[in-house]
Structure 1
């Protein structure tokens, strides 16, 4: 049965990377505590069709939905905070909008009309939003507009969202504007002028914010809130402060203390009892994340370490697992793009995680990390390219000295990792991989099976290269255990070493399914092994 979906639109001002995604996800967590069905949309104004080909240094990790869409990393925040699986249409880009409109024009759908930004582009944006809202009959859809108010590329989206408010009705759409309140040391005070200008810029588009969330380094006082309310023409109760927190998972609790849920419920006429909000589980999760000991030191060994957002889902998954088993995570980032890994630095580790990636750069450093793990019995977890590195290094140790992946060497003698047959003729970069959720069959009495305690699991993929079955028997005879395969037993999904404390590589990306209140079983098993290693050092 269709339900009336209400929309909460989150915009940003003053500076980028202000935390709109965490703010959106935190609002969603509060609304979920009322028993509402909450979905989310991220609008990215860039012309790329999706995030698949974006450089991690510029944009952070690429998040993959269950149905195979390569998305902005904020989709990961939404899924973790809301504890839902979002469809790929939850990420709208300028590229998707324009492509759809051009395809309709080519098919004659506009009957010869001159196709324009208004109404054709704005109508398409609204159509995409409503289509997403209808997929799961959401009570609430959070819509985060990427970028900053005033950006040229955001203007068609702001106009579409203004129209959406008028069409859906005042009681069904509200705007939340996230701004930054800088503190000037020289003046010894916070400055509200950037927020005033940003709000004025938003109002010039015909949009008056209903709530202003003020990000700041430290808490601001009530006088400052009243000043912002006065100059930005909003209710004093609608000015909310979200100061820096030690953990992103504290933000829903901060906003709850600021009565955000109550204000939203009244503003868009939600039929809920806000006093019945249940954030107890979330509070317990936040408390478990604050544990100070014992400390377990894990290193992510990759080539994009300069920007931590490149591995944000892995970082969060490790935090979730650490909290679940009752330890504190000490996370290090070690560059694999070096001639030799620092052996003294490796000795400090209780566990090694090798993440996914593309291209040859940094691979030899990852192979060195695998070798160190094998020789020193250090727990190691390989994901996607990390698993490839584990297979390659194991093969090199077992009579295949020149083993490699054809991603790095097309003419190698032992191509233990090779391109999937269906991919060999594809020349485009975007959307050409094995993407989305696939079934995996687990072999009993393996670490993988003991972690999940299930026969069949579903995990998300993002890759072109696979374990080469031509070397399957030979590697198994050498001691490699294949503990997970596709249901038809054709594709190798998980490999292990049985005589190692914890040596496991998986082809898929388990980090996309971990939740703060429900850590992923592989990360939990890995963290337990690292904790045991730490105790026994």
Structure 2
């Protein structure tokens, strides 16, 4: 029988519930349990797919094509699991499910209410997301006291009553602020947060307290007394300079052992050698590289969360500190590519919209001309193709129909704009209007033997995740390949270009898919690993060059 661990937060948001939950999941997995994780988000959007990165940060994409909260990326990076649409539910999706049932007549004409209908749907979704795992960690978005979170909190309260303490555990993450002027750690915010949680019928079993320093014994006793939690179950979640230190930090305080005891589980001890290796590799690098990430959300690191982590994972694999320099593509438009002069590699990530596009195209051109390692992802492939078409293949006016309605040479376009009716038939038969909606989720790509992509992956067929609408226009395959562009990968059906490279360049690769979504700190990713290796070689060659 699946056991459920519910993680709530209090006082303020952004305390790291996702990291704490994922770290606990990784430790329990190391102790032999199968683990899955579910995120419940209180916003009314059905999913975050249409939300601005400035509002929400990155949209994480699962294998089955769900657009989800960025915390699911943390789940996959810490816990060896593959998330799906059943691992992230929003208020909007819950209500959408209930309204659909009501329209079908499933409630037999009865009045549909928050309790029991909405809470029953939440409980059903939690059970669905848990599957057959030994442990399901359920993270509730927002903070206790938020009006929009109340249905989720009521649902997990009901589950705690229905399933009992043997199968349900409540962990509350809260804040212990240090007031410098008073020279004191204040416990009142935690006390009031727990009081709020208890007022709706949930007694936390464990408190994880975010703080800048270890909790003094006196404060720990005070918190335990006022919150009705055992002193040993008041856990310090200290600020760390590396999130991959969190599993060991929680394990050292016996969080996993307390969880196992409260859920009546007899488990072998945890072995965290792989996490120790990750931390040791990050703290004892053999070198460093600087990667320019040329985008338009440069003031918001969360917008590129998975990319940032994938680069760091590659650094772990190759013992390199990866310094990420965010370069605003609009700044390149204003000031030129001199902003890239001292970097070891250039990465152009995915994105939508015309703003800053010419700066991204210029960045791809700079990397091509100067022999700087270049990785283009999604839109990054498209701008690389546009730049090559304009400046190498001689196709003046080359552009994407995303940005110009009728470009002279639409080298990037919706497939409905260039593929013939016979080629489109199978997409239509699959009930997929790819011209109007995105190609989402994990899909196979066939790599061309002899290409750098094939060598890096070491496979003929790979599966990577997608999130895009516009495609390489096959009508321009001949002029571009005649000019030296190599199409290194095709979609499984052979219709769509998935990867391109320049064989006469030290390292110039671009892909339509998003490899960052499958990179993990313990295993890395071959494409990012080779990219960072190329950046290190470029830096070394530059340092050895006579001045």
Which band: TM-score by shorter chain?
over 0.9
1:438 aligns with 2:443: yes
**Does the 8 Å CA contact 1:37/1:140 hold for their aligned counterparts?**
yes
* 1:509 maps to which of 486, 492, 514: 514
Once residues 23 and 95 of structure 1 are traced to their aligned partners in structure 2, the CA distance between those partners, rounded to angstroms, is: 26
- Residues 83-122 of structure 1 correspond to what in structure 2 (within 5 A)? 83-122=80-119
Once residues 447 and 528 of structure 1 are traced to their aligned partners in structure 2, the CA distance between those partners, rounded to angstroms, is: 14
SS of 1:179 mapped into structure 2: strand
Change (3 A) 1:475 1:157: same
**Does the 8 Å CA contact 2:285/2:319 hold for their aligned counterparts?**
no
Change (3 A) 1:430 1:35: farther
1:5 aligns with 2:2: yes
Q: CA deviation at 1:467?
A: 0.3
Once residues 294 and 133 of structure 1 are traced to their aligned partners in structure 2, the CA distance between those partners, rounded to angstroms, is: 42
Once residues 324 and 469 of structure 2 are traced to their aligned partners in structure 1, the CA distance between those partners, rounded to angstroms, is: 29
2:371 matched residue in structure 1: 377
**Does the 8 Å CA contact 1:8/1:141 hold for their aligned counterparts?**
yes
Deviations 1:372-414 (A, max 9, x none): 1011100010000011010000000121121000000011010
1:36 aligns with 2:29: no
Name whichever of 212-221 and 75-84 sits farther off.
Answer: 212-221
SS of 1:176 mapped into structure 2: strand
1:335 aligns with 2:328: yes
Q: CA deviation at 1:368?
A: 1.0
- Residues 127-526 of structure 1 correspond to what in structure 2 (within 5 A)? 127-134=124-131, 137-273=132-268, 276-338=269-331, 339-397=333-391, 398-421=393-416, 432-526=437-531
* Runs of at least 5 residues in structure 2 that lack an aligned partner in the other structure: 417-423, 543-547
**Does the 8 Å CA contact 1:434/1:463 hold for their aligned counterparts?**
yes
1:78 aligns with 2:83: no
Change (3 A) 1:31 1:359: same
Query: What TM-score, normalized to structure 2?
Result: 0.95
Q: CA deviation at 1:76?
A: 0.2
Name whichever of 202-211 and 222-231 sits farther off.
Answer: 222-231
Q: CA deviation at 1:343?
A: 3.9
Once residues 342 and 226 of structure 1 are traced to their aligned partners in structure 2, the CA distance between those partners, rounded to angstroms, is: 59
Change (3 A) 1:443 1:165: same
Name whichever of 158-167 and 285-294 sits farther off.
Answer: 285-294
Q: CA deviation at 1:133?
A: 1.6
SS of 2:49 mapped into structure 1: coil
Once residues 363 and 327 of structure 2 are traced to their aligned partners in structure 1, the CA distance between those partners, rounded to angstroms, is: 10
Deviations 1:128-161 (A, max 9, x none): 1111222xx1000010000010000000010000
Aligned length: 529
**Does the 8 Å CA contact 2:436/2:469 hold for their aligned counterparts?**
no
Q: CA deviation at 1:432?
A: 2.5
**Does the 8 Å CA contact 2:274/2:522 hold for their aligned counterparts?**
yes
Change (3 A) 1:419 1:141: same
Q: CA deviation at 1:35?
A: 1.1
Once residues 356 and 362 of structure 2 are traced to their aligned partners in structure 1, the CA distance between those partners, rounded to angstroms, is: 10
1:533 matched residue in structure 2: 538
**Does the 8 Å CA contact 1:341/1:368 hold for their aligned counterparts?**
no
**Does the 8 Å CA contact 1:9/1:145 hold for their aligned counterparts?**
yes
Once residues 322 and 280 of structure 1 are traced to their aligned partners in structure 2, the CA distance between those partners, rounded to angstroms, is: 18
**Does the 8 Å CA contact 2:415/2:435 hold for their aligned counterparts?**
no
SS of 1:49 mapped into structure 2: coil
Q: CA deviation at 1:341?
A: 4.7
Q: CA deviation at 1:293?
A: 4.2
Q: CA deviation at 1:279?
A: 0.6
Once residues 404 and 336 of structure 2 are traced to their aligned partners in structure 1, the CA distance between those partners, rounded to angstroms, is: 26
1:63 aligns with 2:65: no
* Runs of at least 5 residues in structure 1 that lack an aligned partner in the other structure: none
Q: CA deviation at 1:429?
A: 12
**Does the 8 Å CA contact 2:415/2:434 hold for their aligned counterparts?**
no
Query: What TM-score, normalized to structure 1?
Result: 0.96
Once residues 350 and 310 of structure 1 are traced to their aligned partners in structure 2, the CA distance between those partners, rounded to angstroms, is: 22
RMSD: 1.7
SS of 2:396 mapped into structure 1: coil
SS of 2:394 mapped into structure 1: coil
Q: CA deviation at 1:182?
A: 0.7
Change (3 A) 1:144 1:445: same
